[in-house]
Structure 1
Amino acid sequence: MGKEDILYEGLKKYFGFDTFKGNQEAIMKSILSGTDTFVLMPTGGGKSLCYQLPALLSEGTAIVISPLIALMKNQVDLLRNYHEEDGIAHFLNSSLTKTEIEEVKNDIVNGKTKLLYVAPESLTKQENIDFLRSVKISFYAVDEAHCISEWGHDFRPEYRRIRPIINEIGVRPVIALTATATPKVQHDIQKTLGMMNAAIFKSSFNRPNLYYEIRPKTDKVDSEIIKYILSQANKSGIVYCLSRKKVDDFSEILQANGIKALPYHAGMDAAARSANQDAFLMEEAQVIVATIAFGMGIDKPDVRYVIHYDIPKSLEGYYQETGRAGRDGGEGNCIAFYSRKDLQKLERFMQGKPVAEQEIGKQLLLETAAYAETSVCRRKMLLHYFGEEYNEPNCGNCDNCLNPKIKVEAKELLITVLEAIEALKEKQKTEYVINFLLGKETSEIETYGHNELDEFGSGADEEESTWQSVIRQALLDNYLKKDIENYGILKITKKGKDFLKKPVSFKITKDDEEEENEEELYPDNADMMASGGGSFGAVDPVLFAMMKDLRKKMAKKLNVPPYVIFQPATLEAMATTYPITLEELQNMPGVGPGKAKRYGKEFIDLIKKHVEENEIERPEDLRVKTVANKSKLKVSIVQAIDRKVALDDLAESKGMDFEEMLSEVEAIVYAGTKINIDYFLNEIMDRDSIDEIYSYFKQTETDDLEMAVENLPDYTETEIRLVRIKFFSDMAN
């Protein structure tokens, strides 16, 4: 019986299928013939079958190295379901008792066990190495192989010890499998596992049914997501957030708006986590709000949307998380909210890590930023990142393809870029090349003496964003590539060298002028709250003008600057959603119970009268209920300040950096809660300094931070923010 017949017979006998998917059959033949095999197959492609069936058909036991205890258990249970003998598959990890370990070893010695799942940590234990040396091993399977690479999205240092241990136990063929790997990560996996000559099988990463969209993240992100979920009646979805706290807060907000949502993150106890996961699988909950801890090995075929509240740290993470949508081939909408400030925050979190790790993290963030900011087809860009060419002019299923931008000729610009890279001897990364083109005399450029080169400043006439677009498009069109060994360094391809000899048409997409100034268009909520800036334009300019007028009169009467009563952004929100009760008023940005009580009555009376006189229909769906007022964090901060806890100590105890803590305190006082931080201010600043900043805010028409920093050059931004908090609390609350 040939290898092919054995495979088909085994497939039918053990798994009940008649046909293989994609290149499963070729992969199995490769490992059965004793060849090292590398498998790159996106989630849902049937990866695990590629080693399970060959293991069942081979003599001896296959060692499967897997990083997650939950996944191992899941796989072992599935295999036992297909086979009448429980001993067919076992796992060996820290969750087993001594007796259970003995049982596993007996089954292996007696030839019952075809697959042994091992955590990399268990594999390194000497007693396990000694035992496995006495076992007949069919082959080794390294699952989730991207964990080997520091460039992978889930690096596990113990994975790098796999090859030496295999050599110690006994060399047999190796099959490495992963669902997400860039060319750089693939190279790392093969190199570290000593399988540079492996047979390579790559499946396409294209999921044509998934729709990709990036939206600017504004202070309205909560209500945007709520409106979207409410429009997807009875459809299942996942919302990914970066922090556990955000998961807890946002699932509460969704619940307050009548959405069956449950949280899921590693900080919850295992029972609650698994109960929430089951409720989602059984459709008792419509939405899971989760950190990336959710979804590993979850095979719910009908997840119809995946929303990223925060942009992830890497495109691998993004691809894997969006990949949980539309597994049944049906609709799958992937919407991510992006602001540059989120990326800056992620970069700050990396501080304190080893320099090499920071450098890798930064490169991965740059890839994410490029993807989020591009006007090129998102599918093309995502597939290119995973080393796959996608040559369709329009994918028809991403925001950029459905709303294409104008393309402009950029042949001359590409020549300028390629000449600059040549002049720099193909040894620099994108950021360096752009600084060089713009003629920026950075310390690095001066150290290398590159400011003396003729090409230095050859691109000073263009914007930085234009050079970003040219390099991005040149990478997509294969005029440039990123070096594998020193990832991020730009190299000119053969096609790029030919282009320099004989240039052809090269086009880039032109961004609209106003879109380039994203920071102005879409200020972050915290920033808006803290600066009184961030004009989104009121829907009802007449009401807005009337409220400004009322605010002016009240300010005069109370002898405080107008912005102290309500921020411009708050007035705009009120002139858009028409709150007519104090409870509704509290849902406006920057309004808490204290502020609503103190100043609210006159404003809601004015709005009520305006709505009635003009027969305005109030937009029900825009008045999103929030649970921010009940926020446990804010309450605990206020209590700690009452106990006179130093703000820097408080930040540390909450696991935040000091700036984040200040933003929380600002939000508290802007919403109308009175606090007293004199004990902290007097400790770090002298009386005269406090008075000078305080009187500045008393006299100025705005509490804009940038303007204050400019007008108060002797003080740091932090000092100004602290005194502004005191001023606001005294005056407004």
Structure 2
Amino acid sequence: MPRLQSLEAALKHYFGYDRFRLGQQQIIEQALQNQDLLIVMPTGGGKSLCFQLPALLKQGLTVVVSPLIALMQDQVEALQDNGIGATFLNSSLNSYQVRSREQAILSGNVKLLYIAPERLLSDRFLPFLDLVQEKIGIAAFAIDEAHCVSEWGHDFRPEYRHLKQLRRRYSGVPTLALTATATDRVRQDIIQQLGLKQPSIHIASFNRPNLYYEVQPKQKQSYSQLLQLIRQTQGSGIVYCLSRRKVDEITLKLQNDGIVALPYHAGLSDAQRTANQTSFIRDNARVMVATIAFGMGINKPDVRFVIHYDLPRNIESYYQESGRAGRDGEPARCTLFFSYGDIKTIEYLIEQKPDPQEQRIARQQLRQVLDFAEGTDCRRTIVLGYFGERFAGNCGNCDCCRYPKPVADWTIEAMKFLSCVARCQERFGMNHIIDVLRGSKSQKILQYGHQKLSTYGIGKDKSVEDWRLLGRSLLHQGLVDQTTDGYSVLKLNAHSWEVMRRQRSVAIAVTTVQIPSAQPLDTQTAEVEMLFQRLRSLRKQIADEQSVAPYVVFADSTLKLMAQQQPQTLAQFGQLSGVGTHKLSQYGRIFLAEILAYCQEQGLTVQQDTTTPLPATPSDTELFTLQLHQQGLSLEEIAQKRNLRLTTIVRHLSDLVEKNQAVNLNRLVERDRQAKILQALQAVGSHSLNQIREYLGEDYTYDEIRLVRGRWRHENR
């Protein structure tokens, strides 16, 4: 079979996708040729697949370096749910679990190992890695979040600098460095710090066309503004705030208004942060209100909105944080609340930095954020330009492109403003200049005698916000300067005098609030939405039974395809993007039953499925579970030995029963209880575990029902 066909077949088999995203196939082919690679691909662009698929096609273990426990566990859960041998080693495990997982690695049952850099390079683990190299081989090192290696990156972590040891110790093992954002300077630093050998560099577009970018002026009643936005936007979302106090305040208000929201910041205990993050990922909480402590590596693809309640510190952080939205490629909304009051907070934080050079860089970054917030050009043009990527034309998916802001000629106002700066002898900041223009009687103005200036009171017709908008616009257009010594004193420059001599005109954008209106649903769209919501509920039920995030079962995009195409046979269901061989076997029948039930309720024609219901051959992981069961181990002992959840072992055995394998069901469920469960299945059907349990009562467990359901399905094929 040609390489292209075999790669696409592997993609469909393991991950359920029909085709590669742009750039993935070339990267994977080079990875299979053992080349060093630097992959810069935006959040949601498919970076993980670039090392996961080669890991499954190559001999040996692929070691994935990941900085966060949550990220490791999420990715491993998703891989295991696809039937892929993956595990992690981190501080959440006890010594027995660590030894058991290491044994599984040496036995060749694990293809991908996720591990933090500190543990990977520890004196205890490196000798074990030498043993892995000797016994089964190391296929590759994948360094995820590789920007952490660079001091110029937005999340520098010193421990990443030591990863260069891997190149010295395992010189023949290829390294793949992956990151979502990296300027040219950071890319060069990654290559040098990791010792990459003539790497092939892949830089995908930073454009996320599914994200709608907008900036809204932060109103006086900013919480009401936030609440309205959340209520009119469906799905899960993140609200970013600058301070812990604001996070707690907003969370409490949202909870009081009936929004299921949780806080996340460094002031909470590790256990509380983990619990809150898990609730959010599993759709038990709709909104996460967080400081920037929350975000990196959060593997939740169906976040539908990200709101920056306060101004972000720099464009790179904003791109990363807003990029948590829409990782599944579905439409998502990124809103920034812009208030000049937030600038003072960030300026204060900048002033706390001990290094003057750090302060200078931070102020420059703040100015870039203000350029974005106040800009009248396409938001994408501004963001992508920061990363050195040109974007031409109207994107059609930001507020500036959908609702162009009117530009007003404010040359006369600019002349008044700059003239006031001159009359005040270039010794004061913006607030004082505005007070003079508006005729304030503050003690400071009287102290300096500025009530006697010719510019005193000539700007009463404009509000404080109007003058501040003009002042900032003059700064960003380079028509006035500002000192960077911490006092922010306004200084005139050559362009300032050109304006005052009427040699240069000044135009500024008049900011307006535009809320995209919801499009009314036609009948067909409404029916699809109804089925989609039913499938979401079913997915949530299955996910809760298995203690995993809903997206681990199926992505929103796959559920939407189910709702739109309404497959009526397992063969049709297996053709959907996102449905691989393992997921077809695992979930095909239950989702198909929900779709068919909906079609029958709507009076639609239902096609009889004449295809083979499920693959008759057990998977390797099911056979391993069967072998331990036949050795007499209990469910709990099998789960502990395999380092898998108990629900996973139960699912293996129920599928094995359904496939007519030699499972001793009588040892797992008492005979009289089997009879009662079979009666319930006959009465209410096999579709819903909840309905079966309601019929039986709470004395019966979901595990018992699932196991007996496997027998019932086998007998009723």
Task: Report 1:305-704 matches (<5 A).
Answer: 305-350=305-350, 351-355=352-356, 357-393=358-394, 395-399=396-400, 402-406=403-407, 458-462=494-498, 510-512=507-509
Q: Is the 8 A contact 1:325 1:332 kept in 2?
A: yes
Q: Is the 8 A contact 1:304 1:331 kept in 2?
A: yes
Structure 1 residue 47: deviation in Å? 1.3
Distance verdict in 2 for CA 1:120–1:379, change over 3 Å: same
Q: Is the 8 A contact 1:129 1:169 kept in 2?
A: no
2:465 corresponds to which residue?
Answer: none
Residue 114 (structure 2) pairs with residue 117 (structure 1): yes
Q: SS of 2:8's equivalent?
A: helix
Distance verdict in 2 for CA 1:231–1:112, change over 3 Å: closer
Structure 1 residue 269: deviation in Å? 3.8
- TM norm structure 1: 0.53
Q: SS of 2:202's equivalent?
A: strand
- TM norm structure 2: 0.55
Residue 217 (structure 2) pairs with residue 220 (structure 1): no
1:157 corresponds to which residue?
Answer: 158
The one of the two structures with greater contact order (alpha-carbon pairs below 8 A, sep at least 6) is 2
Structure 1 residue 405: deviation in Å? 4.4
Instruction: Give the AA of the match of 1:107.
Output: A
Task: Report 1:60-79 matches (<5 A).
Answer: 60-79=60-79
Query: Structure 1, residues 487-515: CA drift from partner, whole Å, max 9, x if none?
Result: xxxxxxxxxxxxxxxxxxxxx99314x77
Distance verdict in 2 for CA 1:166–1:439, change over 3 Å: same
Query: Structure 1, residues 104-130: CA drift from partner, whole Å, max 9, x if none?
Result: 333333333322222111123123233
Q: SS of 1:459's equivalent?
A: helix
2:100 corresponds to which residue?
Answer: 103
Cα distance in 2 between the residues matched to 1:381 and 1:83: 42
Q: Is the 8 A contact 2:66 2:143 kept in 1?
A: yes
Cα distance in 2 between the residues matched to 1:438 and 1:326: 39
Structure 1 residue 384: deviation in Å? 1.4
Structure 1 residue 336: deviation in Å? 0.9
Structure 1 residue 364: deviation in Å? 3.0
Instruction: Give the AA of the match of 2:291.
Output: T
Cα distance in 2 between the residues matched to 1:59 and 1:375: 53
Instruction: Give the AA of the match of 1:39.
Output: I
Structure 1 residue 275: deviation in Å? 4.6
Structure 1 residue 239: deviation in Å? 1.4
1:293 corresponds to which residue?
Answer: 293
Residue 90 (structure 2) pairs with residue 93 (structure 1): yes
1:724 corresponds to which residue?
Answer: none
Q: Give percent identity, aligned residues only.
A: 45
Query: Structure 1, residues 269-318: CA drift from partner, whole Å, max 9, x if none?
Result: 45544554455455554432222333444455554332111112222221
Q: Post-superposition, which runs of at least 4 consecutive aligned residues in structure 1 deviate over 6 A?
A: 434-444
Structure 1 residue 190: deviation in Å? 2.3
Query: Structure 1, residues 642-663: CA drift from partner, whole Å, max 9, x if none?
Result: xxxxxxxxxxxxxxxxxxxxxx
1:16 corresponds to which residue?
Answer: 16
1:630 corresponds to which residue?
Answer: none
Q: SS of 2:497's equivalent?
A: coil
Distance verdict in 2 for CA 1:441–1:105, change over 3 Å: closer
Cα distance in 2 between the residues matched to 1:194 and 1:299: 28
Instruction: Give the AA of the match of 2:290.
Output: A
Q: Is the 8 A contact 1:236 1:303 kept in 2?
A: yes
Cα distance in 1 between the residues matched to 2:479 and 2:210: 41
Cα distance in 1 between the residues matched to 2:79 and 2:209: 31
Instruction: Give the AA of the match of 2:64.
Output: V
Q: Is the 8 A contact 2:32 2:54 kept in 1?
A: yes
Greater shift after overlay, 435-444 or 389-398? 435-444
Q: Which runs of 5+ in 2 are unaligned?
A: 410-471, 486-491, 513-717
Distance verdict in 2 for CA 1:21–1:212, change over 3 Å: same
Q: Is the 8 A contact 1:145 1:176 kept in 2?
A: yes
Query: Structure 1, residues 609-664: CA drift from partner, whole Å, max 9, x if none?
Result: xxxxxxxxxxxxxxxxxxxxxxxxxxxxxxxxxxxxxxxxxxxxxxxxxxxxxxxx
Q: Is the 8 A contact 2:211 2:397 kept in 1?
A: no
Greater shift after overlay, 172-181 or 396-405? 396-405
1:147 corresponds to which residue?
Answer: 148
Residue 44 (structure 2) pairs with residue 47 (structure 1): no
Cα distance in 2 between the residues matched to 1:215 and 1:281: 27
Cα distance in 2 between the residues matched to 1:121 and 1:462: 58
Residue 31 (structure 2) pairs with residue 31 (structure 1): yes
Instruction: Give the AA of the match of 1:166.
Output: R
Instruction: Give the AA of the match of 1:133.
Output: D
Distance verdict in 2 for CA 1:332–1:172, change over 3 Å: same
Structure 1 residue 65: deviation in Å? 0.9
Q: Is the 8 A contact 2:209 2:397 kept in 1?
A: no
1:685 corresponds to which residue?
Answer: none
Cα distance in 2 between the residues matched to 1:206 and 1:267: 34
Instruction: Give the AA of the match of 1:161.
Output: H
Cα distance in 2 between the residues matched to 1:39 and 1:303: 24
Query: Structure 1, residues 359-394: CA drift from partner, whole Å, max 9, x if none?
Result: 443443332222222222111111111222111145
Distance verdict in 2 for CA 1:16–1:302, change over 3 Å: closer
Q: Is the 8 A contact 2:59 2:139 kept in 1?
A: yes
Q: How many residues align?
A: 439
2:641 corresponds to which residue?
Answer: none
Q: Is the 8 A contact 1:32 1:58 kept in 2?
A: yes
Distance verdict in 2 for CA 1:128–1:360, change over 3 Å: farther
Cα distance in 1 between the residues matched to 2:140 and 2:60: 9
Q: Is the 8 A contact 1:208 1:397 kept in 2?
A: no
Distance verdict in 2 for CA 1:401–1:275, change over 3 Å: same
Q: Is the 8 A contact 2:74 2:299 kept in 1?
A: no
Cα distance in 2 between the residues matched to 1:102 and 1:318: 41
Residue 242 (structure 2) pairs with residue 242 (structure 1): yes
Instruction: Give the AA of the match of 1:64.
Output: V
Cα distance in 2 between the residues matched to 1:39 and 1:251: 37
2:195 corresponds to which residue?
Answer: 194
Structure 1 residue 357: deviation in Å? 4.3
Distance verdict in 2 for CA 1:437–1:27, change over 3 Å: closer
Query: Structure 1, residues 509-537: CA drift from partner, whole Å, max 9, x if none?
Result: 9314x779xxxxxxxxxxxxxxxxxxxxx
Q: SS of 2:190's equivalent?
A: helix
Task: Report 1:125-140 matches (<5 A).
Answer: 125-134=122-131, 135=133, 136-140=137-141
Cα distance in 1 between the residues matched to 2:171 and 2:149: 20
Distance verdict in 2 for CA 1:243–1:458, change over 3 Å: closer
Q: SS of 1:214's equivalent?
A: strand
Distance verdict in 2 for CA 1:266–1:12, change over 3 Å: same
Q: Is the 8 A contact 2:405 2:511 kept in 1?
A: no
Q: Is the 8 A contact 1:436 1:457 kept in 2?
A: no
Cα distance in 1 between the residues matched to 2:395 and 2:82: 43
Q: SS of 1:253's equivalent?
A: helix
Instruction: Give the AA of the match of 2:169.
Output: E
Instruction: Give the AA of the match of 1:57.
Output: L
Residue 93 (structure 2) pairs with residue 57 (structure 1): no
Distance verdict in 2 for CA 1:442–1:317, change over 3 Å: closer
Structure 1 residue 9: deviation in Å? 3.6
Q: Is the 8 A contact 2:367 2:476 kept in 1?
A: no
Distance verdict in 2 for CA 1:75–1:107, change over 3 Å: same
Q: SS of 1:461's equivalent?
A: helix
Instruction: Give the AA of the match of 2:30.
Output: S
Structure 1 residue 160: deviation in Å? 1.6
2:212 corresponds to which residue?
Answer: 211
Q: Is the 8 A contact 2:213 2:397 kept in 1?
A: no
